[in-house]
Each structure stands twice: as structure tokens, then as C-alpha cells.
Structure 1
Amino acid sequence: MKTIDIDDELYQYIASNTKFIGESASDILRRLLSFDELVEANATVQEETQPVTKAKPKKAKVTSDAVDLVELKPKKVAKPEPVKTSVPENVQNIFDLINKEELATQKGAVGRFLLILSNMHRVHTQQFDSVLDIQGRDRLYFAKAELDLLEAGSSTKPKQIPNSEFWVITNSNTTRKKRMLTEVANVLGYSTSDAERIREFL
């Protein structure tokens, strides 16, 4: 508590503004000056005008233990999967069996079509049953009996694939026959590029 000297006139003024017995001169002055409200207002202004300081991000300390954990080691690179061979592994190769000279001796597209299928059967005898799943929207393409193809549609002109027990329809146009050869190559495991080569024999 600080002590100040004031003249008699000022003291009389302060004393005359006493509101209750026992009110101190300090309390009277505070009330007359609205001192508490003034202090509060100043504090608010200071808070609003004070610049906001951004906290600096803390840098992580790297200890020697952490360095040991992050020790660079050569990454293990996964070995690429072996690429599927374009021609299935068989004793014979379809491209070794078919040649342009032999194809040229056949009677038209139907003859070439049957020769290609015959050679594919020769190379893939065990898997050739899978061609039975190849069908059109409303007709069979392959069967093990001529009657099955005759009953499946009119004018199918089924013919037996030489040296096999399978029959195939032959009344489709050349574009459809090429598509059938592509589907046969696909189900027998040929790559897209080799399936394209086979259909071009037609």
C-alpha cells in the first residue's frame, strides 16, 4: 500500500463522496474514477492488438539408436514372374506343322480351316475337348458327333476335323472362321499374338 500527500480541499472532496461508514479513500477514488472498468478495457485492447506468435515446429532429435534402426539396407527386389511362353510347351509346335505350301493345296477357306484345326488337335490332343465350350449365341460350333451339330441349327454343313473325333460347322463366312480359330487358340493357351498368327493362316 502506497502513501500519498493530498491537500485539505481534495481530502474534503473525497470524504464528502463517502457512501458508507468505513469506505476507504482508495475505494472512493476507484469508484469516482471508474478505475476498475478502465483497467479492464485497457487489458482487452492490449490482448487484441498484441501480435500472435506462431510456435516454431520442434525439430525431432535423431539419436544414435534411431540411426541404427534406419540403417540403409539394399531393398529386396522381387524377381519378375516368368513370362508365359507364346507357344504352349508340347512335343510339337503348331507353327512347325503348318506351312503355306500345304495350305495352298487345300480347297478354299474350308479346306484350310479344317487343316489348321487338324494340326491344332494333333499338338493339343489332350486339351482339345475344351473347344466344345466355344459356342455362338444360338448355335454350336464344335461337337463330337455330326448329329449334334445338325440338330443345333439348319444348314450348318458340319465336317469332321481330319484325324480327330471332333466335328465343326463350316457354313460360316471367313471372318467367322477366323474368329473361331482365335477362340480355339485362346482356350488352348496361346498368347494373343500367336492366336493372331494362327488365324492369318486362313
Structure 2
Amino acid sequence: MKSIQIDDDLYHFIASQTQDIGESASDILRRLVMPSDSKPSSIKITEADKVAPLDVPSAEPTQGQCQAMAVFEELQGQQLEAIPKMVERWLLVLSIIHKHHQGLFSKVLGMSGRNRTYFATSKETLLETGSSTNPKNVPGSDYWVITNNNTVKKINMLKEVAHTMGFDGPQIERLIAVFAPEHI
């Protein structure tokens, strides 16, 4: 196996194309650049291929994609399945999302249900919005979140947070699979 050095933005783009947990960079690149029936030894370059410009769309990753991949990279080392309490997992995931999306995280302040506000910048604000909210600080941030919800509600809130931060559909599903694999 050969090693190559690539720029960080290219690495984050490749990582953002992950479809399965544990998929290697080689697998991702092979899927992206090689037809499914091609093998490296069967590729033949014609003179036309050498001269003709390639019509390849720009593969520049967006800032949101890079930040989402940074979240996944950090989550990968956390071993969430070893954390038995869902509220602790929930707070850890929110903390990591906040860390990599600090500029956007204030948008979660608009999240609420029929009778409850989900996020606030103070514990008191959440206590005023309903009984039994059990607000907890999102570690490493100035934000508080209600925690007295079942896991399904936490999953739905996490989906909304991820969407607000700019995660795309597959990234959101991957985040939920990492957060609560036993509920998929």
C-alpha cells in the first residue's frame, strides 16, 4: 500500500463522501473516480483522453462539509456506545457540534416545541418554559439544553440541530447512527 500527502480541504472532502462507517479513503476514492467495473490494471488511456479536457465538476468542499467531517472525526474517537447514559452522549455530541460550529450554534436558540424551549443561554430561561425540563449546560459553551426527553425526542432534536448547522441528509443519518445505533 502506498501513502500520499494531501491538503486538509481535500482530505475533508474525501471524508465527507463516506457512505459506511469504517469505509477507507481508498474505498471512497475508488467509488468516486473509478467505474464499478474498472480495475486499476484495466484502465487504458487513449490519445483522445490525453488531449481532451476532463469535464469534472468542482469538488471543493463547502465550509459546512469540512466542519461536519471534523465533528465525525472527533466523535469517532469518543466511543459513544461505551457511554451508557443517553443524556451524557447527547451532551457530548452537542458539545462537539458546538465546538466545530460556534458561529452558527446560536441558531439553535430558535428551536422549540409546542410548550417548551429546547435551548437557551441560561438555565433559568429553560426552567421558566416548563416543568421537569432538567436543563444542563452544553459542555464548553454558554448554551443550555433541556434533557428531560426520551431518546427518540433527543434524536429528533439532534437531527434539527445538525440540519441547522448545515449537515446534509446522509451526514444527519450518519450522526444519528453514531449517537444512538441501538435506536435505528
- TM-score when scaled to structure 2? 0.60
Q: Cα RMSD (Å) of the superposition?
A: 2.7
Which of residues 96, 106, 113 is equivalent to 2:83?
A: 106
Deviations 1:100-148 (A, max 9, x none): 6532443510000000000000000111001111111221000000000
Q: Distance in 1 between matches of 2:126 and 2:169?
A: 28
Q: Distance in 2 between matches of 1:114 and 1:91?
A: 17
- Structure 1 stretches of 5 or more lacking a match? 1-78
Which of residues 92, 97, 109 is equivalent to 1:132?
A: 109
Q: Which has the higher contact order (CA 8 A, sep 6+)?
A: 2
Deviations 1:49-89 (A, max 9, x none): xxxxxxxxxxxxxxxxxxxxxxxxxxxxxx97879759523
2:130 aligns with 153
Q: Distance in 2 between matches of 1:109 and 1:125?
A: 23
Correspondences of 1:175-186 after superposition (within 5 Å) = 175-186=152-163
2:118 aligns with 141
In terms of Rg, which structure is larger? 1
The aligned amino acid for 1:131 is V
Correspondences of 1:5-24 after superposition (within 5 Å) = none
Percent identical residues: 40
- The yes-or-no answer on 1:191 pairing with 2:168 is yes
- TM-score when scaled to structure 1? 0.55
Q: Distance in 2 between matches of 1:143 and 1:88?
A: 26
- The alignment covers a number of residue pairs equal to 125
Q: Greater helix share, 1 or 2? A: 2
- Structure 2 stretches of 5 or more lacking a match? 1-55
**3-state secondary structure, aligned to 2:66:** coil
